[in-house]
Amino acid sequence: MPGLPLTRIPASDSKQQAIRCLVSNTEHLPETSRVARVDDAKAFTTFLLDPRVSAPIYTLPTDINVDTVAKFIARHLDERTQGDGLLMIDINDSGKVVGYHDIQFWPEWSACELGGAISPEEQSSGKGGSGALATFNWLFDVVGVDLICETAALDNIRTAKLLERIGFKYMGEIESTLPGGGTRPSRYWELSRTDWLKSRED
């Protein structure tokens, strides 16, 4: 997405290469997430058709169906090959998709943006918060990024409260570019490695 991250500190060539290598070889995230494949399109579509999941998220296809979701997954697989994007899904014991992570990396800035959602039935179970914390730890400790960005719709109070509780710094409103064209106002946060490490010491 053009314009992100707002904070830009150039990374060394070796750091950029290390991030791209780690991303391109990632198969799983902490907890239960794994790389989404094109043959997951039907199950993922069923999950995304719930407006409680997809309505607040601007990065998803405008029209959600098996074809558009398959293309969405394929694009992320290409990004994974290049080391600058990951699409991970969570699948329960019944084979249903119950959550996903969409991560955009900017190796040149040692930064990334994390998006995604969990099943509405699990939104008050604490799984969203614990899963986010595990992923933030993985991004900082394993991938080695120095900055994580987050955006959310202006009325997405749940995400705003979670991010600020974790320690993200609110940076104001930005214009997010929609996949189908146009823009949408979003709220924007950042969390640096330095602040994350400091918060874990407190």
Using pLDDT thresholds of 50, 70 and 90, give the confidence band for residue 84. very high
pLDDT digits (tens, 9 = 90+) for 18-45: 999 999 999 998 767 999 999 999 999 9
pLDDT at site 1: 44
pLDDT digits (tens, 9 = 90+) for 108-130: 999 999 999 999 887 655 555 67
pLDDT at site 31: 67
Q: Considering only 42-51, 66-75, 93-102, 175-184, which range has the smallest mean pLDDT? A: 175-184
| Three-state SS annotation for the chain | CCCCCCCCCCCCHHHHHHHHHHHHCCCECCCCEEECCHHHHHHHHHHHCCHHHHCCCCCCCCCCCHHHHHHHHHHHHHHHHHCCEEEEEEECCCCCEEEEEEEEEEHHHCEEEEEEEECHHHCCCCHHHHHHHHHHHHHHHHHCCCEEEEEEECCCHHHHHHHHHHCCEEEEEEEEECCCCCEEEEEEEEEEHHHHHHHHHC
Q: What is the mean pLDDT of the chain?
A: 90
